Amino acid sequence: MKSLPLASGILGATLALGIAGWMIWQLQEPDSAGLAREPVAVIGQKTRAALLEAVDTYLETTTDPKREKPQVLAALRPDLKPKMFCHEELIEVRQKSENQQLAGLAASCEEYARTGKQLLASSQYKNLALLTMDTTGGRYQVLDIQEALEGDLLRSSVREMFSAEGAPRALEISASDFSALTEENRVEGRKTFGLPADAGIQVYRPG
């Protein structure tokens, strides 16, 4: 019976150390939960396809100065008839107003052309984005785009752009360097330019 106080003391110390360790881990572990509060909308496959088609067209062809990216091959080698390829993963759709929705997604765009038996690669765009979509008349149109900030602020901007459930998935895709979407671009690029599925990729270097 005399050993009980000692045992209780050891147990208490162990619990205290465990709680302290958990608190330190919580402080060190960055919070990935999103902060956006608009209600998440549930959309069907047909609506999803229409939304992504509008986004894809916007990213591949837009001249919007807010997000226009240089296309090196189009400027320096138009004779190769290059094309911008984009693929997106729709992470979530939130209802902003009666006729507007917010589409949170990951996008990877790459400019390709054909050179001999290889795919020639140049300009790239990979980012997480939040697009404001007009839904009037059942047709989607991009009104605005907000892109995640680069560097250490990426996590902060992603948390502001996505919901509690959406932000962790967005950060997961970013951590993979958008690899799955990039591979889809390569597959489509090879097919478009009549190259075999295992054709190599050459990076364009001006001059």
Q: Quick one: average pLDDT of 4-16?
A: 44
Average pLDDT of every residue of the chain: 84
CA angle 150, 173, 203 (to 5 degrees): 70
Give the alpha-carbon dihedral of 148, 143, 73, 87, to 10 degrees.
Answer: 70
pLDDT tens track for 17-59: 444 443 333 333 457 788 999 999 999 999 999 999 999 999 9
Q: How confident is the model at residue 111 (pLDDT cuts 50, 70, 90)?
A: very high
How long is the chain? Answer: 207
pLDDT tens track for 158-205: 999 999 999 999 999 999 999 999 999 999 999 999 999 999 999 999
DSSP H helices, 29-126, are 45-61, 72-76
pTM for this model (two decimals)? 0.80
Q: Which residue has the higher pLDDT, 150 or 149?
A: 149
